[in-house]
Amino acid sequence: MDPVGVAAAPPEAGPGPAWRNKCPWGAPNPTSISCSLADVMSEQLAKELQLEEENAAFPEVVAVAEGPFITGENIDTSSDLMLAQMLQMEFDREYDAQLRREEKKINGDSKVSISFENYRKVHPYDSDSSEDEVDWQDTRHDPYRADKPTTTPRKGFIGKGKDITTKHDEVVCGRKNTARMENFAPEFQVGDGIGMDLKLSNQVFNALKQHAYSEERRSARLHEKKEHSTAEKAVDPKTRLLMYKMVNSGMLETITGCISTGKESVVFHAYGGNATEDKVIPPECAIKVFKTTLNEFKNRDKYIKDDYRFKDRFSKLNPRKIIRMWAEKEMHNLTRMQNAGIPCPEVVILKKHVLVMSFIGQDQVPAPKLKDVILSSEDMKKAYYQVLNMMQQLYKECNLVHADLSEYNMLWHDGKVWLIDVSQSVEPTHPHGLEFLFRDCRNVSQFFQKGGVAEALNERELFNAVSGFNITADNEVDFQAEIEALEKMNEDHVQNHGKKLSMFSSDGDPPIFDE
């Protein structure tokens, strides 16, 4: 019996209603077809029966849809190679469809899209892609991006006859210059000049190039300066530990921040803590942290190495010791000035290179410098006589020369002048002490004369008034020569005696050199 004929034989109509023949859950057809066991076990018969059932259950779906693998009528299926190729093609189609769904899911409505083009399994005979699908185009080439201008060949021209174009052509050079702008720094915004077909002349391009380089260097300098400034205002771990110990011990309540920075130190503001038995902590304190780099002190070591108080302890081989000596020097100088009644910060404590003093100002706002404050003529005259009196007290009673006195190191607070920054102050017996004094007198005299104080003495008269000498030189050159001669006599006298002999009287009178 032909199995195909058995499968194709229509079932006989039974005595029941017609709906039972169409419904899969209806009463079974009593008519049965007899066949052999070999026919039942036939694989071809099973496939045909399955196809017939699918067609009966889903009549609207067309089973033959996608090519030779399903139909198999005109394809030789005896070749294993052909079957393998068809299986591979079906797998590739399913894989590409999966990639398409992944792309659509990831991209969504975003303006920036990604593509799995490099992972597709595209075959030359695959023509299923539709016209509206743009997922498979080469996204590495942007069709909306203008092409860069073509380069001129080595011969230097393009074309022939009247249509010849040299490398010096205005349009060609303009487009080349526009393309070369893309080589500028990323921070320099040049825009889409190529897309706008912008043509830059050589003069404009060179100006833009120079400006771009200048901006790049300026940006680098600002960045470096910002980092350097941040490093200056910060403190190293050892200094930070010292400041933490001051807060933890209760000496300071809190450190609010940096209020001033200079060449040699950084000043922080802090609120005072609990007072101890032997020390009264002011409500507001100034923490002066001397920088631990030797670069700022390479030109200022002369203030220490020639000072008799620190000469034996000076060492160029240990920068940290030099800086500690610098802080100790300011502490001793402030103590002398405080004992003499000169308005200056009060020393609270010294820890290595960290000096805690009273704060000159109020509510975290430091007192203004004398150069920044605007005073009336009466207050300016009052400030001048205060400075003159303080210079005389500093020289006679404290036996010190400020050595850096100017309107930058004088504050105006509570209607009077305060002296600060005395770390470089030296004694008059210093080999350059009188030179430092004359420089201070010049700075003070020039400032108050410009401020409109008619009674202000010139630098030579002020020097004689402060030091007590009576140098009567007609010009500044001879005046400085006599000052150098006095310093030489002082130095020779000290070297001959091997110690600092009392060139100054013990009662605080002006120094008198022995003839």
Contacts (Cβ under 8 Å, ≥6 apart) of 409? 369, 402, 419, 420, 421
Long-range CB pairs of 378-387 (<8 Å, 24+ gap) are 379/415, 380/448, 380/451, 380/452, 380/453, 381/453, 381/455, 383/412, 383/416, 383/417, 383/448, 384/448, 384/451, 384/453, 384/455, 384/456, 386/416, 386/417, 387/417, 387/444, 387/448
In terms of Cβ atoms closer than 10 Å to its own Cβ (0-12, 13-18, 19+), residue 74 is exposed
Scanning 404-475, the segments in alpha helix (DSSP H) are: 433-450, 459-467
Tell me the two tokens of residue 201: 């002349």
Catalytic (active site) residue 109: no
> How many CB atoms are closer than 10 A to CB 453?
18
Q: What is the CA radius of gyration of the chain?
A: 49
Could you give the CA distance from residue 332 to residue 399 in angstroms, rounded to a whole number? Answer: 12
Strand 416-419 to strand 361-362: parallel, antiparallel, or no bridges (unpaired)?
Answer: unpaired
Could you give the CA distance from residue 379 to residue 227 in angstroms, rounded to a whole number? Answer: 41
Could you give the CA distance from residue 317 to residue 321 in angstroms, rounded to a whole number? Answer: 9
Question: In one letter, which amino acid is 457?
Answer: L
Could you give the CA distance from residue 243 to residue 259 in angstroms, rounded to a whole number? Answer: 16
- Torsion 241-243-246-250 (CA) sign: negative
Q: Are 282 and 358 in contact (CB under 8 A)?
A: yes
Nearest partner of 350 among 330, 364, 366, judged by Cα? 330
Q: Are 288 and 355 in contact (CB under 8 A)?
A: yes
Could you give the CA distance from residue 192 to residue 356 in angstroms, rounded to a whole number? Answer: 59
Could you give the CA distance from residue 192 to residue 145 in angstroms, rounded to a whole number? Answer: 10
Match 């050199």 to its residue by tokens: 513
Tell me the two tokens of residue 417: 């002048």
Nearest partner of 196 among 220, 178, 176, judged by Cα? 178
The residue from 306, 307, 404, 440 that is catalytic is: 404
Active site residues: 404
